[in-house]
Chains A and B, each alone.
Chain A
């Protein structure tokens, strides 16, 4: 033990006790000020939005296998598999497959696909066990994150590699074909660490036959995820993220396809995706931080189906089916103002079409069976710089700039490539003019080649009744940008893998060398971005072990593109609007150190002028969760989820129970878990065909962490 003189002490401890008689134990004098962003972070009662935070404790208690399932804990969030293997997650969702109006970030990287306005939840390469926290902002947040944060934003934050176990192996199995596994490895060194996770999950989807037919919605998803963090200096941190996913999905036959084809090779969808991301953060001082981030991502998907078109005259499979892919029928279709019914009605009387038909019939060829391929490739390059500065205790500023290049390629949907460059400037100013009053003024100005210049503002006033209590008034606007497909769609479903006879003389039999289905769609390129205007009154309060957040809102969505935009029907207009009004509450209460109770409720009234915009508009959505750590190493949790009136009639009501035992081992622990989920309502999920054979699904898992 030794002492330091005061002079030395002052030099060592800066402003600490400048004139105080201070005892400095050995070793204590060298503790550096750890520059964390904590000083720049807003407490929840001061955030100018309604926020739901799902932390590790809730994630464990939820028993979620897949990321999307965690979203059921968010008030007002629809998180269901509208198709058995494709999750739909939408805050204040309207369309059943609508993920277009909500932004999803993983570690600051947008996984919102630029070309076709969607979020591929299956292909997000993050295992649930690697998620540290999910922060969901309910309500438009384009002022902070730019276009497409229309109804809300989900920010998934993965576990820092320093916080990951050295190694982990997990196996899970159960009914409904559930078979999951993951392996995690973490390497550490003095200044950093890297975590790598390889995971695989599969299930059978909705497995109850519908109208006598099996539902094709099984899936297999494999992901790889790497996160590296390295402290370059005490002020600089470099992070590298990389990963990818590979998914194989069974798909249902498209209704339009079945109208004119026999499907002999049922559709399957394959997706390959990958990304790399670099992030450099510098903490200039406790009150000033900068961040530069760059990422590149690529996805390559294809929906395949093997079909034999019906002969339009006989209605049977045969060589006459080739007529649907003939040049002459395409020309008639164009001459009929792209009206499918009018085209088919006029075909029998069109000499050129009939000539083509006779050629096919007399060719001696077999049925015109071939493969349909709907290919989609999307790429994004994105660079962003952000600066956070606390100018004084009363003024804080976050500002930055972003540049982005989006590119899409699809033979079936774009007949080639399309791209879009965008540039953005953003800023958010937090002012505290009075101790109890916080003002937040922000905006995101964005220009891109398709949507031109747009500005998304937000103004919020938060009255802090007391520390930990805030009443907020928020007004915000946001846009969903018209995507590459909506702007530049030019569809053409080509016939691949044709029979040898057709391959040998394609021009002779079908009139052109690259035959396409006669139906084609072209975007007119005159769409405007969808817009939302939101007003809300909210309250966040914390009383001892009880937390509550309330939100009362009115949201008006205009210029919506609601009608189908697929290769068979493309009715893209800005004609529709939706209005939501309602209120939401989320509470969390820890009555005892071993018990956690959490509940959410959302009541929504939606006015939509077209049916598709109300399919996912559940009037009541609620959840309840109880976690009980009842003995050393034992945990029981139970959850209840309710969503009323999906598709105006189906109630989704589900209960879950989970028991987990953690067994300490000499160098780690073994976690054993058993879980059961039960469909209480017995209703289908969103659509009539979505049912499980067994209303209870259960699985067990074993995880070795070391």
Chain B
């Protein structure tokens, strides 16, 4: 290494380094100021353009209400990518960005979470425990709950059994592999129950089986709760569900938390829910007509009173 030639040369070098430092600090300061102005960089992916646009607009409005600054970036440059649906969620994971899945199948979300992704999700399925609570609000006399699942949705039983035991309820869990199994077994299973808790399971509760499920339950005078708002319109008594607006609120909360704590909550069911009630069917079963909004509020209150997944020290549900 050549020796330093003179004090003047050393002084120039020192000044240059100081200028460079000033420029760098200036740039950093500018960047920080810029960031403080525009908030977290978010992106939304998935779904049709209309839904995505409306969801993004609604989320912006909700975040602004909460005083959370944010701006929209391309997914690959975002700080938090909100993925709508399973396909978008899977695709988002490839971008190596923090991902918050929305309306994602529970199994898809948990698989990704278990593999160590920087991600979380709110499930598209309704919380079965909340559905059971709804059933109890509407039918306080119901003690024997028929639960029919396929092997793919048998996890619902695990969640329900613990809750049922604590509340002196009997969950009659039956497994049907397909719609044919359901058709043969449902009449017998319903005879031993006060109501049927239908869960999200496209194999068993689908447009093809709706008539079978609802007519069978009607013939036996056994109400059906769940699995979603579409079934309620078809003829089940009621269901809790997460509307797009509920999910917007849910995501806004999660974004705010992410901003504060720098991490996402574990995958879970949405805390923000709505309730849909089929008034005609409810009246037939002598359910006191209640405002669905008030029912949803009661359910959400019950959820906050109950220990959360994390507080219970459980793995995400």
A residues touching B (Cβ–Cβ < 8 Å)? 1-7, 13-14, 16-17, 20-34, 36-39, 41, 43-45, 55-57, 132-133, 159-160, 162-166, 188, 234, 286, 466-468, 542-546, 590, 592-594, 629
Contact = CB atoms under 8 A, between A and B. Distances in A.
A165 B229 CA distance: 31
A164 B219 CA distance: 12
A34 B187 CA distance: 18
A-side interface mostly: loop
9 contacts: A3-B46, A5-B48, A27-B202, A28-B230, A36-B215, A57-B192, A162-B187, A545-B141, A593-B168
Nearest to A464: B286
A447 to B, nearest CB: 35
Contact of B144 (A31, A33, A165, A593): A593
Contact of B288 (A1, A13, A21, A467): A467
B105 interface: yes
Interface string B283-301: 1111111000000000000
B245 interface: yes
A592 B168 contact: yes
Given A34-B214, A545-B141, A25 B124 contact: yes
Contacts of A543: 141
Interface string B185-222: 00110011000000000100011001110111011110
A4 B48 contact: yes
A21 B235 contact: no
B234 interface: yes
Interface in B45-61: 46-52, 54-55, 58
Given A28-B228, A29-B230, A542-B141, A34 B242 contact: no
B243 A41 contact: no
A6 B187 contact: no
A162 B286 contact: no
Nearest to A42: B284
A188 B186 CA distance: 15
Interface in B126-185: 140-141, 143-144, 168-170, 183-184
B286 A542 contact: yes
Interface residues of B, number: 65
Interface of B: 46-52, 54-55, 58, 84-87, 103, 105, 124, 140-141, 143-144, 168-170, 183-184, 187-188, 191-192, 202, 206-207, 210-212, 214-216, 218-221, 228-231, 233-235, 242-245, 247-248, 280-281, 283-289
A16 B233 contact: yes
A544 B169 CA distance: 13
Nearest to B228: A28
A132 to B, nearest CB: 7
Nearest to A632: B172
A88 to B, nearest CB: 30
A231 B289 CA distance: 32
A22 B244 contact: yes
* Leading 8 A-B pairs by shortest Cβ distance: A21-B244, A163-B187, A593-B170, A467-B288, A30-B207, A3-B47, A39-B280, A593-B143
B163 to A, nearest CB: 14
A6 B245 CA distance: 14
B288 A466 contact: yes
Given A593-B144, A593-B168, A629-B192, A31 B245 contact: no
B214 A36 contact: yes
Nearest to A30: B207
Contact of A21 (B55, B169, B211, B289): B55
A26 B87 CA distance: 12
B223 to A, nearest CB: 9
A23 B247 contact: yes
A32 B143 CA distance: 30
Contacts of B211: 32, 34, 234
Given A6-B54, A162-B216, A34 B210 contact: yes
B170 A594 contact: yes
Which residue of B49, B216, B221, B288 has the most chain A CB atoms within 10 A of its CB atom? B221
Given A55-B221, A165-B184, A629-B192, A6 B143 contact: no
B248 A21 contact: yes
Nearest to A159: B187
Contacts of A188: 183
Given A21-B54, A30-B207, A165 B215 contact: no
Given A34-B214, A38-B218, A166-B184, A23 B286 contact: no
A1 B85 contact: yes
A643 to B, nearest CB: 29
B288 A31 contact: no
A33 B48 contact: no
A157 to B, nearest CB: 9
A393 to B, nearest CB: 9
A163 B216 contact: yes
A162 B183 contact: yes
Contacts of A22: 243-244
Nearest to B232: A16
A2 B85 contact: yes
Contacts of A57: 191-192
A440 B308 CA distance: 50
B219 to A, nearest CB: 5
Which residue of B105, B211, B218, B286 has the most chain A CB atoms within 10 A of its CB atom? B286
Contacts of A23: 51, 103, 124, 242-244, 247
